Amino acid sequence: MYSKKIVIRYTPEIVEQPIIYQLVKQYDLVFNILKARIFPRREGVIVLELSGLKENFDRGIHFLKEMGLKVEPLSKSVSQNVDKCVHCGACTAFCPTGALSFEKQTQKVLFDPEKCNGCELCVSACPVHAMEINLL
């Protein structure tokens, strides 16, 4: 079983189509809606955890992109606001993937978005709110 958290950005033309239903019906994927902001005739965004066979997952993502939707891993939507960051390192203790690390030479917190799984633990752990989820 393959599972990944993704962000899907809808265009006003597609927002009223049953896209998630198609992922379930045609590609046998299971979904869990983590966050959503979708309005009729407007752009929208939905954060899903999709699970299923890797082949079905890849085919489902291809389907979404063919429909004109922008699809990206949730980890791409987590960012470090370096202007807010005071490099205290509090977030590094909560990061389960090692995406956040403390570099001793520079005394800076480094963020590697490729390692991030989008769990958002760093967002709640950061006392100055330098770790952000960018959904829109």
Per the prediction, the chain carries an average pLDDT of 89
Higher pLDDT, 75 or 8: 8
Tell me the fold of 77-133.
Alpha-Beta Plaits (3.30.70)
Instruction: Classify residue 44 as exposed, middle or buried by CB count within 10 Å of its CB (0-12, 13-18, 19+).
Output: buried
Instruction: Say what the pLDDT of residue 7 is.
Output: 87
pTM of the predicted structure, to 2 decimals: 0.61
Task: For residue range 56-105, list pLDDT tens digits in order.
Answer: 999 999 999 999 999 988 766 788 999 999 999 999 999 988 999 999 99
Residue 66 one-letter amino acid: E
- Span(s) in the chain for CATH 3.30.70.260: 2-68
Q: What is the DSSP string of 34-96?
A: EEEE--TTS-EEEEEEEEE-HHHHHHHHHHHHHTT-EEEEGGGGEEE-TTT-----GGGGT-S
CATH of range 2-68; options 3.30.70.260, 3.40.50.200, 3.30.43.10, 2.40.128.50 = 3.30.70.260
Task: For residue range 101-115, list pLDDT tens digits in order.
Answer: 999 999 999 999 878
